[in-house]
Structure 1
């Protein structure tokens, strides 16, 4: 009962903290971390002990699925080398850099233990990246690089962590075995994800009930992750691949009702899960501090080493991003590649967007109890999460504003949204014109023919001269919204007066809701 009450209190706190963050113009992740930390130290509340394996299983699959489902697949494929450089190369480089600094700070700590800490803090977190990137605007290339990196780098970090722990326990390490294992985990995970997504496509085509389709779609994330883990391959890669395939096919297997209702449900679910992740991270601080002897011990013995480690992983990310960009520039001048360098400003934005989160904490908590330096790893992991989310999360918007990044010509779509809308309207008009007449050539749908023909003409004119038509368009949909509001008021009056029953109320209210949403979308 106490646990249930704590969950309810956490959900109420999430709503309040999001409201406060919006009023203060703060990243919600920062407010949630602070709120979770305060919640942990309230007297009388039970202390939260995180089971790292359970945390990863509950939160990681749906959050990875959400990122993969909605990522721009064409952009991801176009920039896959850059994503791979960040998701694999940057993680390995950062792990080595942190291990070297840690061994310099603590010479008595085995190299394997130093590598474990490096693997814990090296990969930026998908949840933290999403939470911050949703509040800012980036051109397609850097946005794709950061989103793609956050989806795939956990697999690299987890493999490095696994081999570093094994090396610390057994005293042996083989780079060849590590590379082979990574290949097997990645390829096996991709195969499992593709198989689960294929089953989902078949199931979604045959299930007739929209609620069953939505439920099956939500369970796909856990199905891919758990199936891969049972087969001892990468659950992260499996979930990402399943999300990419499902996101590609959902446009043709989902009906309009499934898409609207499913997206609404999924959006709220992801919102709550992302928020709870940051609340749980903050709530775990109390247990971490009690384990190492209190906050006084942390400040006296660990503060300076932790600051140096935080500096090391930040500098390592800058070094990797700028170094890779320099190599691209040199190779491009030699005529060996068509890839364009990011440029100093874009490289700065990507380097600064390295927030850590729940994966870092969960992996740190899974270090064996007797492993050398475990207490320091826990404190360092939490400090890295707090430092990157608060410092980088709160300043990333300013850095992006300073950079003034613009969409490159190669990433711009060939058609604008207005031009695509005009093309779609013309295709609709062709079909309506063909079916507006019966077999004898008699016009049987004159109003529909006039409506779609007029829309096709106006869409082309609007795409050619948006500035002239926009005021009229806004006035048109403002009138539609006013009419919807009047209809809604009359509908409620009829229901309150007992003239109609609840069934009629809900059916007509749904029609008004759809009309209102359509008008708002068209006006925007």
Structure 2
């Protein structure tokens, strides 16, 4: 791809994603729609989705940022449903969709149909987390969807390789398939376990934030590349490393954390925007290669596969939710009795995405063995993958928010979360106050009373800030005491900033001093902002 089309893709997708923030429509849907429309505009370059770029260069950083933002403890608590979805459901969907396509499409061999099943089996990590964030799903459902989307790509890619080996004439038995899956899973986890400790040690011993963040950008590619080189799952290697580093992120210095958060937000925004725009832009490429499958037949196949994909998820989710409770008294004692609503939302939140398209585009053009020739139904598989991805993103993505409102699922308990935060801050403040008193009792730490009082005031401010969010609001502005304090603090910072700029413009201070002073104000404003979020 030339530089100009790439720049147009990034700039255009970022503009659409930015505009989506002002609308109630999730950004992925607007990006896909914009890509579909742009694919018909004369002069727009033809963007062909290259699996050699998407899988090793786009998937690792998206997985890394999603996994590092996930909670290892929450995922461990939801290990059973996550495993049942990310492994069991993907294999089930591969078989069901493959068998349905084999029965539906005349002349499509079963191995090729199973290739289609493996391609469309995994829900997309980016789509799941984007929708979950936007609609405010309950924390347990969000954890399950995020956990599923982190691991299911590894299952799907392995199933795809096994089905592909049979389709191209290399032969593949059930024993070979199980062995391939175990090698990929165990190998990927092993590579992640081997890398996570030395990478964390390196992160904590590098002294400059720029070096630490450069390392952070390289980590997902290193983990993915080493695992794939060892014929293991690069997806699982990235997820294991990211979960460990995210769990121990508190051991990295504050400058690295501030910079790293900003860097990865930008990377994720650019990649997610470009990825969804690319999905829409594939329409012309897919239609050109459709070949003999056109008209009513192709539309019927697309609708049928889409329906099978959607229904198969419900067929799996409900038994996977309720059967373990029926079979295990321990589960019944430990977990609350689920209603039908949560499994329904999980079943409906199975949007597919760019990974499915990338895998589909990696299908070889020809087969080997005695029946050498074109890969059977390759163009149709590409078309059905595209229509399934678009269908799930549009139909399920658009209807999920109103469906959640209709079912009246309980969202996050903001009051309980704030209370827990306030209690945690109170405990930390008590320990910090004792530590401060011990330090000030040492004559080596002697401070003038105003400075010692300032340390205590800062500590008291942090202790009271969260509790104030639970208090009464200002009858005039509707703000809490804490909101008013933050607003006035920002007004004061803005006044200071304007003075510094005026002094620079009057040549009383130079630009280097201005940057130093503004950096100090920026850190104070960032602290105030983080208290508000």
TM-score normalised by structure 1 residue count: 0.92
Match of 2:75 in 1: 76
Alignment of 1:494-509 (within 5 A): 494-509=503-518
Q: Deviations over 1:409-455 (max 9, x none)?
A: 9xx87971111111222222111111123439x96343354345456
Match of 2:349 in 1: 353
Q: Quick one: distance in 2 between partners of 1:303 and 1:453?
A: 70
Structure 1 position 116, deviation (Å): 0.9
Q: Quick one: distance in 1 between partners of 2:54 and 2:376?
A: 24
Match of 1:43 in 2: 42
> Quick one: structure 1 residues 130 and 9, their matched pair in 2 at CA, closer, same or farther if it must change by over 3 Å?
same
For the 8 Å contact 1:418–1:459, the answer to whether it is kept is no
Q: Deviations over 1:95-147 (max 9, x none)?
A: 12112211221243221111111111011011221222221212221111100
How many residue pairs get aligned? The number is 517
Q: Deviations over 1:369-421 (max 9, x none)?
A: 12211111000000011011111111211122223333699xx8797111111
Structure 1 position 181, deviation (Å): 1.8
Match of 1:306 in 2: 302
Q: Quick one: distance in 1 between partners of 2:245 and 2:488?
A: 39
> Quick one: structure 1 residues 34 and 407, their matched pair in 2 at CA, closer, same or farther if it must change by over 3 Å?
closer
For the 8 Å contact 1:437–1:445, the answer to whether it is kept is no
What's the C-alpha RMSD, in Å, of the aligned pairs?
Answer: 2.5
For the 8 Å contact 1:64–1:236, the answer to whether it is kept is yes
For the 8 Å contact 1:349–1:403, the answer to whether it is kept is no
- After TM superposition, the structure 1 stretch with the greater mean CA deviation from structure 2, 276-285 or 467-476, is 467-476
Q: Deviations over 1:251-275 (max 9, x none)?
A: 10x2111111121011101110111
Q: Deviations over 1:58-105 (max 9, x none)?
A: 100001111111101110001111100000111111112112211221
- After TM superposition, the structure 1 stretch with the greater mean CA deviation from structure 2, 143-152 or 452-461, is 452-461
Q: Secondary structure at the match of 2:509?
A: coil
Match of 1:326 in 2: 322
Match of 2:377 in 1: 373
Match of residue 270, structure 1, among 268, 271, 289: 268
Match of residue 417, structure 1, among 421, 426, 432: 421
Alignment of 1:195-344 (within 5 A): 195-252=194-251, 254-293=252-291, 298-332=294-328, 338-344=334-340
For the 8 Å contact 2:162–2:180, the answer to whether it is kept is no
Q: Say whether residues 1:179 and 2:175 are aligned partners.
A: no
Q: Secondary structure at the match of 1:43?
A: coil
Q: Deviations over 1:293-336 (max 9, x none)?
A: 49xx6442211111111101111101111111221342356987
Q: Quick one: distance in 1 between partners of 2:418 and 2:186?
A: 34
> Quick one: structure 1 residues 118 and 341, their matched pair in 2 at CA, closer, same or farther if it must change by over 3 Å?
farther
Q: Quick one: distance in 1 between partners of 2:267 and 2:275?
A: 12
> Quick one: structure 1 residues 189 and 379, their matched pair in 2 at CA, closer, same or farther if it must change by over 3 Å?
same
Match of 1:444 in 2: 447
Match of 1:430 in 2: 434
